[in-house]
DNA sequence: TCTGCAGATTAGGCTAATCTAATCTGGACG
DNA sequence: CGTCCAGATTAGATTAGCCTAATCTGCAGA
């Protein structure tokens, strides 16, 4: 009964859908997404963004403050979350049911997300058991448009000595994803922060329970998003 | 090593892919596909077809004889068969793995066929066991671009007394497909032609082995494509 | 052979989405 | 307080696809 996208509305184009997703990602932390950031994310020229921004604000999907940036309207946010749900369910389906590696699914989902029906997405979600996270640990929005907001720390920021659970891998870059996989750094892994060198130096972590160590430069450490695990013997994590 | 589509070529647009498929289907029997038949099949206006025909013949995908029609070039035929392979594998995958009914898969495949990668299609084909027929009995072209050409008779044309195997259902119309399903008329079924009334009257068939009878008007009888089964006791059909 | 017309094409126009080149502007900084 | 410039926007062009209205043409029938 909530006022989602009316079925009568003309469907959004592939471009529009990708713009809305980009704006969602860029404005999820701070307030506004800038023209040049959108342009960089979508690999188009800045004037193309200005043109699209005009159309999107005319149709009420975004708010535009000239020379400052854009934000999603409630309607635009719903549309963006719908695309993100599709994208993440597709990624998970490809890895779980069709034996894709986690570094290959993004490109495929990027195209399919625009072509699948809601029906197909819900069937996939059903056959996956209504999953909550995609292969990279990103939360899957519900069909109703809710998304989990976890506050996570990167391994680059976590305190030395902290015990962490790796939750999300914040990149779609194939080479980096493959490297993380070889290092056993995938969502769900437990670890402790053993050391950090000064002046933006590398962080050393120890995997739990194996105790294996990994040394991560700042670039990679910033991509690994973790939740803190209370350090208590024989305790149960509450998730 | 066969001279298929070079990877360097710019990818074909969704429209172009649908035009090539339409031309393939329309010219598969006779020689030329007419402008108005293409327009009807794609639900566009005839001048839109004339415009596309010009572009397609400039890029060498079709041959155009003005005021007569178009035919696929070898390159266009390869592209069309590639799309048909995608379409039919998608249809089968949706029915087999995601519990779609055979009357719902066409619309979904019509969009997805343009968005999937070759990689994904081959993974689906692999998980289906390299299938040869789609849910409607239509042959699936090979990845190399070969397609089975069976010569089939419609139930409207078959001789009274003939023993037949139902092979293909020549429609994508949901209502008709659902009706056929309720009547047990799906590919693989054996039947004999029991009677045909004159003046384009209905054909009565008997299902084998149940003996159940069905009476089919000419419109529906023409949609059911069959191969003849040699009438011999205890014999094995050679397929 | 001539005529008419169904079907094909051309003419002209529109929208979405992109680009490059030119211009504008908000805010940082001297 | 004024300048400057990175970043944003406007101006103008292009391409693919689609449309309607006007025109053309092959061929069937008189
Ligand atoms: Mn996309
Ligand atoms: Mn992901
Ligand atoms: Mn299609
Ligand atoms: Mn089919």
Tens-digit pLDDT profile for residues B63-102: 999 999 999 999 999 999 999 999 999 999 999 999 999 9
The CA-based diameter of chain B, rounded to the nearest angstrom, is 58
- Please check the confidence at residue B236 and state whether its pLDDT lies above 70: no
The confidence score (pLDDT) of residue B159 equals 96
> β-strands A224-228, A153-154: how paired?
antiparallel
- Please check the confidence at residue A2 and state whether its pLDDT lies above 90: no
Cα B125 from Cα A58, distance rounded (Å)? 44
Is there contact between A27 and strand D, defined as CB under 7 Å from any strand atom?
no
Label residue A4 by pLDDT band (50, 70, 90).
very low
User: Minimum mean pLDDT among A5-9, A122-126, B30-34, B51-55: which range?
Assistant: A5-9
- Please check the confidence at residue A233 and state whether its pLDDT lies above 80: no
Among residues A149, A170, A186, the one where a domain terminates is: A149
- Residue A195 domain-assigned (yes or no): yes
A128 touches chain B (CB under 8 A): no
Please give the helix or strand (H or E) that residue A167 lies within, else none: strand A163-169
Cα A220 from Cα A102, distance rounded (Å)? 17
The confidence score (pLDDT) of residue B155 equals 97
- Please check the confidence at residue A8 and state whether its pLDDT lies above 80: no
- Please check the confidence at residue A5 and state whether its pLDDT lies above 50: no
**Region A197-207: what's the mean pLDDT?**
95
- Residue B239 domain-assigned (yes or no): no
**Region B208-229: what's the mean pLDDT?**
95
What single string gives the DSSP state of each residue in chain B? Answer: ------TTSPPPPHHHHHHHHHHHHHHSSSS-B-HHHHHHHHT--HHHHHHHHHHHHHTTSEEEETTTEEEE-HHHHHHHHHHHHHHHHHHHHHHHHH---TTTHHHHHHHHTTT--HHHHHHHHHHTTS-SB-TTSPBPPPTTS-------EETTTSPTT-EEEEEEE----HHHHHHHHHTT--TT-EEEEEEE-TTT--EEEEEETT--EEEE-HHHHTTEEEEE----TT-----
Q: What range defines the domain where residue B199 resides?
A: 153-233
The confidence score (pLDDT) of residue B1 equals 38
Q: Do B185 and B201 share a domain, yes or no?
A: yes
The confidence score (pLDDT) of residue B237 equals 47
Q: Do B29 and B94 share a domain, yes or no?
A: yes
Q: Which residue's CA shows the smallest distance to C1' of D6?
A: A36
Residue A147 token pair: 């998304």
- Please check the confidence at residue A7 and state whether its pLDDT lies above 70: no
Please give the helix or strand (H or E) that residue A196 lies within, else none: strand A190-196
- Residue A238 domain-assigned (yes or no): no
Smallest CA–CA distance, residue B21 to chain A, in Å, is 18
- CB < 7 A from strand C, the residues are A 13-16, 43-45, 47-48, 51-52, 55, 66-68; B 34-37, 39, 46-47, 49-51, 53-54, 64, 66-67, 69
- Residue B166 domain-assigned (yes or no): yes
- Residue A110 domain-assigned (yes or no): yes
The confidence score (pLDDT) of residue A29 equals 83
- Please check the confidence at residue B238 and state whether its pLDDT lies above 90: no
Q: Report the percentage of chain B scoring pLDDT > 70.
A: 93
Q: Do B134 and B168 share a domain, yes or no?
A: no
* CATH number (domain holding residue B171): 2.30.30.90
B13 touches chain A (CB under 8 A): no
Q: Do A132 and A215 share a domain, yes or no?
A: no
- Please check the confidence at residue B129 and state whether its pLDDT lies above 70: yes
- Please check the confidence at residue A135 and state whether its pLDDT lies above 60: yes
- Please check the confidence at residue B118 and state whether its pLDDT lies above 70: yes
Q: Do B66 and B123 share a domain, yes or no?
A: yes
- Residue B160 domain-assigned (yes or no): yes
Label residue A187 by pLDDT band (50, 70, 90).
very high
Q: Do B52 and B144 share a domain, yes or no?
A: yes
Count of domains forming chain B: 2
The confidence score (pLDDT) of residue B213 equals 97
* A58 Cα to the center of ligand 4, angstroms: 41
**Shortest CA distance to A102 belongs to which of A93, A114, A111?**
A93
Q: Do A10 and A87 share a domain, yes or no?
A: yes
Is there contact between A35 and strand D, defined as CB under 7 Å from any strand atom?
yes
**Region B187-195: what's the mean pLDDT?**
97
Among chain A residues, CA nearest to B124: A98
- Residue B238 domain-assigned (yes or no): no
* A171 Cα to the center of ligand 2, angstroms: 8
A111 touches chain B (CB under 8 A): yes
Report chain B's mean pLDDT, rounded to a whole number: 93
Report chain A's mean pLDDT, rounded to a whole number: 93
Q: Do B28 and B124 share a domain, yes or no?
A: yes
Is there contact between B52 and strand D, defined as CB under 7 Å from any strand atom?
yes
Label residue B8 by pLDDT band (50, 70, 90).
low
Please give the helix or strand (H or E) that residue A205 lies within, else none: strand A203-208
Cα A53 from Cα A39, distance rounded (Å)? 11
Q: Do A17 and A100 share a domain, yes or no?
A: yes
**Region B102-111: what's the mean pLDDT?**
97
Whole-model pTM above 0.85? yes
**Region A52-70: what's the mean pLDDT?**
97
- Would the CB atoms of B120 and A98 count as touching at under 8 Å? yes
Q: Do A115 and A15 share a domain, yes or no?
A: yes
Among residues B149, B178, B196, the one where a domain terminates is: B149
- Residue A210 domain-assigned (yes or no): yes
List chain B residues with CB under 8 Å of A114.
Answer: 115
**Region A183-189: what's the mean pLDDT?**
97
**Region A93-119: what's the mean pLDDT?**
98
The confidence score (pLDDT) of residue A59 equals 96
- Please check the confidence at residue A148 and state whether its pLDDT lies above 70: yes
The confidence score (pLDDT) of residue A235 equals 45
Residue A1 token pair: 């009964």
The confidence score (pLDDT) of residue B230 equals 81
Q: Do A206 and A125 share a domain, yes or no?
A: no
* CATH number (domain holding residue B101): 1.10.10.10
Q: Give Rg (Cα) of chain A.
A: 20
**Region A150-167: what's the mean pLDDT?**
96
Cα A57 from Cα A208, distance rounded (Å)? 49
- Would the CB atoms of A108 and B97 count as touching at under 8 Å? no
- A32-53: pLDDT as tens digits: 999 999 999 999 999 999 999 9
Q: Do B131 and B190 share a domain, yes or no?
A: no
């Amino acid at each position: 009964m909530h006022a989602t996208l009316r079925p009568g509305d003309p469907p959004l184009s592939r471009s529009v859908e990708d713009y809305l997703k980009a704006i969602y990602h860029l404005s999820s932390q701070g307030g506004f997404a800038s023209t040049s950031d959108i342009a960089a994310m979508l690999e188009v020229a800045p004037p193309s963004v200005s043109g699209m921004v005009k159309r999107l604000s005319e149709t009420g999907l975004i708010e535009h403050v000239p020379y400052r940036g854009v934000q999603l309207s409630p309607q635009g946010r719903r549309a963006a979350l719908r695309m993100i749900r599709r994208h993440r369910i597709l990624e998970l389906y490809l890895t779980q049911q069709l034996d894709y590696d986690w570094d290959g699914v993004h490109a495929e989902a990027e195209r399919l997300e625009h072509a699948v029906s809601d029906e197909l997405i819900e069937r996939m979600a059903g056959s996956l058991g209504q999953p909550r996270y995609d292969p990279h640990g990103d939360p899957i929005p519900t069909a109703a448009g809710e998304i989990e907001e976890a506050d996570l720390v990167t391994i680059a920021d976590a305190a030395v000595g902290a015990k962490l659970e790796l939750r999300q891998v914040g990149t779609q870059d194939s080479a980096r994803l493959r490297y993380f996989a070889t290092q056993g750094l995938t969502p769900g892994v437990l670890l402790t922060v053993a050391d950090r060198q000064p002046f933006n130096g590398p962080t050393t972590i120890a995997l739990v329970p194996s105790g294996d160590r990994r040394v991560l430069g700042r670039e990679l450490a910033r991509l690994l998003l973790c939740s803190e695990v209370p350090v208590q013997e024989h305790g149960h994590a509450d998730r």
